[in-house]
Chains A and B, each alone.
Chain A
């Protein structure tokens, strides 16, 4: 097995474990959004920076900017009880404590480790960038377009709404950097 293949197997294992946990706790709809981001990130990473790693001098500043914006967004979600609201919305019974444990403590550790990974040009760091980029693109608009509408009644505030779109912009910027570098480095994508 080549080293790249070994990293792909490791990431596939990570996706299986993470999704198993998420489907069991947070409910189908939010877990499906994250599943799409993990798989989308996996495909994007395999086609781009796994073969042609983006120079850290280009990617690290934008990666840090993205996780900073994401961290502010997590802060808003935490302050306004996102976990319990989502749990009620999808009928999973997800609680604020479960949300806090997973999205305020455990997952951010992986984001921060991702920055160190990219700095050392480690493939798993680049996967984290691709996963976050796809996640922002797919998941963040739901705070404005899906959750308030699904809850019913007049369009209203949903936790995380005010800070959801900025990390999406930075996430797309990050994906664009990875894609354009891979394109310049070799024939990777059309």
Chain B
């Protein structure tokens, strides 16, 4: 059979790429594990554990809930509210120089020194970009959109709790940057998680 004949034999019918749920799970887990390694390298163990918990819980919750029931467009206001809270906390951390103070705090002891750009990139610009991408996914009813929504809520909650824990360890003699806006993050995160869980129960 000649080369030209074989080329003519290639099927031209439309092919759809079906992505199984397990591939989404594997992709999220792979990217999450890489992110945790990066956070550990550049920011130390506390923030790496916080990221690991957010990612693991988001994966587990997504797998058991909105993986199958992904019509959750009504969760978009909660996603947007959480993004705004993340941005407000970023502003506070940036103005009061959390990166410069982190390794001097009791909770951040032993962490490598890192700059403002690195911190803002990893903990605020990155999550906000991811959250916007997730909002698009939620709107278009894509399974990955809901995973990102879960991750955003858990990330916001975990970051706020880390700041609160840092403040508790510091005592009352100094204010840890990010504490003033931490309740906003907790409120946004809890509202989003509650909405998604209630929507799940309604099915």
Closest to B33 in A: A165
User: Quick one: which of A62-77 are within 8 Å of B by CB?
Assistant: 62
Is the CB of A78 closer than 8 A to any CB of chain B?
no
Is the CB of A120 closer than 8 A to any CB of chain B?
yes
Is the CB of B34 closer than 8 A to any CB of chain A?
yes
- Tell me the bound Cα distance from A157 to B17 in angstroms: 34
B15 near A57: Cβ-Cβ < 8 Å = yes
Q: Is the interface of B mostly helix, strand, loop or mixed?
A: helix
B41 near A156: Cβ-Cβ < 8 Å = yes
B27 near A169: Cβ-Cβ < 8 Å = yes
Q: How large is the interface on A (under 10, 10 to 19, 20 to 34, 35 or more residues)?
A: 20 to 34
Across the interface, which residues of A come within 8 angstroms of B10, CB to CB?
119-120
B122 smallest CB distance to A (angstroms) = 13
Is the CB of A166 closer than 8 A to any CB of chain B?
yes
- Tell me the bound Cα distance from A190 to B41 in angstroms: 42
Known: A57-B15, A61-B15. A168 touches B30 (CB 8 A): yes
Closest to B20 in A: A173
- Count contacts on B: residues with CB < 8 A to the other chain: 19
Is the CB of A155 closer than 8 A to any CB of chain B?
yes
Is the CB of A56 closer than 8 A to any CB of chain B?
yes
Nearest first, the 7 closest Cβ-Cβ pairs linking A and B are A165-B30, A169-B26, A57-B15, A61-B17, A169-B30, A173-B23, A169-B27
Q: List 28 A-B contacts (CB under 8 A).
A: A56-B11, A57-B13, A57-B15, A61-B15, A62-B17, A120-B6, A120-B10, A144-B37, A155-B37, A155-B41, A156-B41, A157-B41, A161-B34, A162-B38, A163-B34, A164-B34, A165-B31, A165-B34, A166-B27, A168-B30, A169-B23, A169-B26, A169-B29, A169-B30, A170-B23, A172-B26, A173-B20, A173-B23
